[in-house]
Every structure is written in C-alpha cells, then in structure tokens.
Amino acid sequence: MPAGRKKKARNICIDRDDLLCDCFGPLKVDKKVLEKREKIYLEADELQSIIYQDIDGLTMDVACKKLWISKTVYAGIYASARNKIARSISQSNVLFLPKE
C-alpha cells in the first residue's frame, strides 16, 4: 500500500488547446544548450492558482472554493508556483507546463 495521503480531485479548468506550447525557455539559445538547462515542471494546480490569483484577480477565499481545497493547501500550491516561475525567469531555466 502506498504511503501518504490519497490525492483528492481538484477543479482544474485549463484548456490545453489555448496554450501556445507546453514549455518556455530563453530565446536565441541553441537546442543543445537548451536541453542541458534545468527543467522546471509546473503542475496543473499550480498553473490554475496563478491564473486565478494573478490573472483573474480572485481572492484566496474564492480561488480555494473554485479549486475545492483548503486555504493552507492553496497557499502552498501558490507559493510553489511563484517560486518555480521566478527561478525559471531569473536562472534562464526551461519551464514546462502541465500536459494532462
């Protein structure tokens, strides 16, 4: 039996057809160099939290209710997403968006 808590379903509503691509990296970099850079993977719930709070301007209370999670869990997800995005920008890493 696997250790840890059972993952709960979250209300993620990202339309993958609207995404331009599934990763972002520095421009004008050779493909071989780009492949050697650190890859950072943004989870679907992290991307959804960024959309709700930073783009849609929702409060944490409303965003938590839309994702069906507690404020504590939401705060951790949101902080993780912001950290990953900041690292990818400041260190020129490749940021991969969720595929499924």
Cβ atoms of 24 and 95 within 8 Å: the answer is yes
Per-residue pLDDT, 100? 60
Cα gap 43→65, rounded to integer Å: 19
- pLDDT at position 71 over 70: yes
Indicate if the alpha-carbon torsion angle 90, 97, 48, 20 is positive or negative: positive
Q: What is the DSSP letter of 53?
A: I
The partner residues of 24 in beta bridges, in order of sequence, read 95
CB 45 within 8 A of CB 10: yes
pLDDT tens-digit map of 3-60 = 666 666 666 666 555 554 555 555 666 778 777 888 899 998 999 999 999 999 999 9
CA-based nearest residue to 49, from 33, 25, 66? 66
pLDDT tens digits, one per residue of 81-97: 999 999 888 887 888 88
Dig out the tokens for 53 from the structure: 């709070």
